[in-house]
């Protein structure tokens, strides 16, 4: 009996996907709910599970093909019909003459064991693929310890450590006549051509579309982080003990943004045709890194959440973004975006608006800088640059500056977050 595997529903407005890789080959045993393929959509990589146990049968598409939602993807054969899923054997030649006996020596030689570096394609999860590329390793030369011999992150990290620890082979002394390399044989000029993933293609199109559509402008301010750092240092242990999550800076900025969005509602609005749509809620998109690029999951109704609720949501998004398990609907919508480039060491940037939103707040690294205090004294203070990129078609310069000032006031005096001021 054959069971059809179809492309699952991938989320609202998502009608197609690209086959990133097949995790099972025809003839492989498959357990119920085991992933057999990875699909790349515009936002995330989605694994397709087997509907029942059996043997991997015919695959209707190859890796890299585009498939529609609901299309027949593959067949799962019942375990008893494994022979049907196996590639057909080469037919034996007609018995024209008796074959010559094989040499005795050839009989004695056992069949060689398959090599881990045989050059066969290796199925890699997105996280493993990223590690392989980062360390410049050949995945076919790494022995996998995962299910069905698949590579795990630990396998790749162990191989990377082994490569570092292995002594470099001693170079044979080159003849004097050949010591000068020719231009065509110069080392270090290799190139590699890698196909863009569907997610990366979509990121490129959306960001370019934002530049082409919005009248984008960026305004800057800086903020003294002293009060937030002191509050965090004072309460972080009690906070973690009570809520089971660390108190970070993003909770403060998310709450400050909610207050500022109330005061300047145009920053939380968007243009649809010839109308402006205002939102009386704050669905804050938070940019986080994933193996295949930047993803922007949404904190729904952030204005109603506590500090702990915001920090838990962000931590969960970050973990699942690295594991590739974010759901499609978790990245849909959003009325305003916060992007924290400071975690990577960014001093200043002009972030690009996330369509179809109208503004994005960019956070940057904290540096000790000299600041003139109100009494004229100069002190070293932990300062951060803030950047607000906005659509000037909807948001005036006065409103953009006012929004950043509200953020600055709330961060420099966190009590405002408690009394809604």
- The span from the CA of 360 to the CA of 352, in Å, is 7
pLDDT at 127: 65
The answer to whether the beta carbons of residues 159 and 134 sit under 8 Å apart is no
Nearest partner of 347 among 329, 366, 330, 331, judged by Cα = 366
Strand order across the beta sheet in which 336-340 lies? 216-224, 378-391, 359-372, 336-340, 284-286, 298-299
- The span from the CA of 44 to the CA of 285, in Å, is 15
Q: Which residue has the tokens 């003849």?
A: 175
pLDDT at 107: 42
pLDDT at 80: 59
Q: Is the per-residue pLDDT at 63 higher than 80? A: yes
- Tell me the two tokens of residue 163: 């490569």
pLDDT at 166: 62
Q: Could you report the per-residue pLDDT of 73-121, keeping only the tens digit for each?
A: 898 887 655 444 444 444 444 444 444 444 444 444 444 433 344 444 4
Q: Could you report the per-residue pLDDT of 215-246, keeping only the tens digit for each?
A: 999 999 999 999 999 999 999 999 999 999 99
Q: Could you report the per-residue pLDDT of 298-311, keeping only the tens digit for each?
A: 999 999 999 999 99
pLDDT band at residue 52 using 50, 70 and 90 as cut-offs: confident
DSSP strand pairing (284-286 vs 29-30): unpaired
Q: Could you report the per-residue pLDDT of 189-214, keeping only the tens digit for each?
A: 888 888 777 777 777 887 788 888 88
> How much of the chain, in percent, has pLDDT values that exceed 90?
39
Class of domain 1-84: mainly beta
Q: Could you report the per-residue pLDDT of 123-145, keeping only the tens digit for each?
A: 566 667 767 777 777 777 787 77
Q: What mean pLDDT comes out for the span 137-157?
A: 76
Nearest partner of 252 among 306, 198, 298, 301, judged by Cα = 306
Q: Regarding predicted confidence, which is higher, 200 or 33?
A: 33
Which three-class secondary structure state does DSSP give residue 305?
Answer: coil
pLDDT at 249: 92
- Cβ-based neighbour number of residue 265 at 10 Å: 13
Burial 130-168 (b: 16+ CB within 10 A, else e): bbbeeeebebeebebeeeeebbbeebbeebbeeeeeeee
pLDDT band at residue 13 using 50, 70 and 90 as cut-offs: low
pLDDT at 54: 87
Nearest partner of 412 among 249, 228, 253, judged by Cα = 228
Fold identical between 1-84 and 200-419?
Answer: no
The answer to whether the beta carbons of residues 262 and 412 sit under 8 Å apart is no
- The span from the CA of 43 to the CA of 329, in Å, is 10
Q: Regarding predicted confidence, which is higher, 156 or 379?
A: 379
- The span from the CA of 49 to the CA of 47, in Å, is 6
CA torsion sign, 148 to 149 to 151 to 157?
A: positive
Record: fold of 200-419 = Chloramphenicol Acetyltransferase (3.30.559)
Q: Which residue has the tokens 């989320």?
A: 11
Q: Is the per-residue pLDDT at 163 higher than 60? A: yes
pLDDT band at residue 263 using 50, 70 and 90 as cut-offs: very high
Instruction: Please state, in angstroms and as integers, the Cα–Cα distance from residue 222 to each residue in 188, 233, 251, following that order.
Output: 43, 21, 18
Q: Regarding predicted confidence, which is higher, 338 or 188?
A: 338
- The span from the CA of 323 to the CA of 314, in Å, is 14
Highest mean pLDDT among 176-190, 314-328, 394-408: 394-408
Q: Is it true that domain 122-163 has CATH number 4.10.320.10?
A: yes
- Tell me the two tokens of residue 342: 């400071």
- The span from the CA of 28 to the CA of 153, in Å, is 23
Q: Is the per-residue pLDDT at 280 higher than 60? A: yes
Question: What is the CA angle 109-115-120, rounded to 5?
Answer: 125
Domain boundaries, the chain: 1-84, 122-163, 200-419
pLDDT at 81: 53
pLDDT at 130: 67
Q: What mean pLDDT comes out for the span 255-267?
A: 95
pLDDT band at residue 314 using 50, 70 and 90 as cut-offs: very high
How many residues are there in the chain? 421
Nearest partner of 116 among 66, 150, 88, judged by Cα = 150
Which three-class secondary structure state does DSSP give residue 277?
Answer: strand
Q: What mean pLDDT comes out for the span 166-176?
A: 50
Largest CA distance in the chain: 108
392 is catalytic: yes
65 is catalytic: no
* Alpha-carbon torsion, ordered 197, 200, 204, 209, to 10 deg: 100
Q: How many CA atoms lie within 13 A of 348 on its CB side?
A: 8
| Active-site annotation holder among 33, 65, 263, 392 | 392
- The span from the CA of 364 to the CA of 347, in Å, is 6
Q: Which residue has the tokens 């992007």?
A: 339
Q: Regarding predicted confidence, which is higher, 85 or 370?
A: 370
| Active-site annotation holder among 33, 138, 237, 396 | 396
Which residues lie below 8 Å from residue 366, measured CB to CB, with a gap of 6+?
225, 229, 342, 382, 383, 384
Alpha helices in 198-248 (DSSP H): 198-213, 226-243
- The span from the CA of 233 to the CA of 253, in Å, is 16
Q: Is the per-residue pLDDT at 46 higher than 50? A: yes
The answer to whether the beta carbons of residues 18 and 73 sit under 8 Å apart is no
21-30, 231-240, 257-266, 396-405: lowest mean pLDDT where?
21-30
- The span from the CA of 81 to the CA of 56, in Å, is 10
């Amino acid at each position: 009996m054959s069971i059809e595997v179809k492309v699952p529903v991938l989320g609202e407005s998502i009608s197609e996907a690209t086959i990133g890789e097949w995790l099972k080959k025809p003839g492989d045993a498959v357990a119920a709910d085991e992933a057999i393929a990875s699909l790349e959509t515009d936002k995330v990589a989605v694994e397709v599970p087997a509907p029942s146990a059996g043997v991997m049968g015919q695959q209707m598409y190859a890796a890299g093909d585009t498939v529609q939602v609901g299309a027949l993807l593959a067949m799962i054969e019942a375990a008893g019909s494994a022979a049907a899923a196996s590639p057909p054997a080469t037919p034996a030649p007609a018995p024209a003459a008796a074959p010559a006996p094989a040499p005795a020596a050839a009989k004695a030689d056992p069949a060689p064991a398959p090599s881990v570096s045989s050059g066969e394609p290796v199925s890699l999860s997105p996280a493993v693929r990223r590690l392989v590329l980062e360390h410049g390793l050949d995945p076919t030369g790494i022995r996998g310890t995962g299910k069905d011999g698949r590579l795990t992150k630990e396998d790749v990290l162990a191989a990377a450590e082994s490569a570092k620890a292995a002594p470099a082979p001693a170079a044979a002394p080159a003849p004097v006549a050949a010591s000068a390399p020719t231009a065509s044989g110069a080392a270090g000029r290799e190139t590699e051509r890698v196909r863009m993933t569907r997610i990366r293609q979509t990121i490129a199109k959306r960001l370019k579309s934002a530049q082409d559509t919005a009248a984008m402008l960026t305004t800057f301010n800086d903020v003294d982080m002293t009060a937030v750092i002191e509050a965090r240092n004072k309460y972080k242990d009690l906070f973690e003990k009570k809520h089971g999550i660390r108190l970070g800076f993003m909770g403060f900025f998310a709450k400050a943004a909610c207050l500022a969005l109330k005061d300047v509602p145009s920053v939380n609005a968007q243009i649809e045709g010839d109308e402006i749509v205002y939102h009386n809620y704050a669905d804050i998109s938070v940019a986080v890194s994933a193996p295949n690029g930047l993803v922007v999951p949404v904190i729904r109704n952030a204005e109603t959440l506590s500090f702990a609720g915001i920090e838990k949501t962000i931590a969960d998004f970050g973990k699942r973004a690295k594991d590739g398990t974010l759901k499609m609907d978790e990245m849909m919508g959003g009325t305003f975006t916060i992007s924290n480039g400071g975690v990577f060491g960014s001093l200043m940037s002009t972030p690009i608006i996330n369509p179809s939103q109208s503004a994005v707040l960019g956070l940057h690294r904290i540096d000790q800088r000299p600041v003139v205090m109100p009494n004229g004294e100069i002190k070293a203070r932990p300062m951060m640059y803030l950047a607000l990129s906005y659509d000037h078609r909807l948001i005036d310069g006065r409103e953009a500056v006012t929004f950043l000032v509200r953020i600055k006031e709330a961060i420099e005096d966190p009590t405002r977050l408690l009394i809604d001021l």
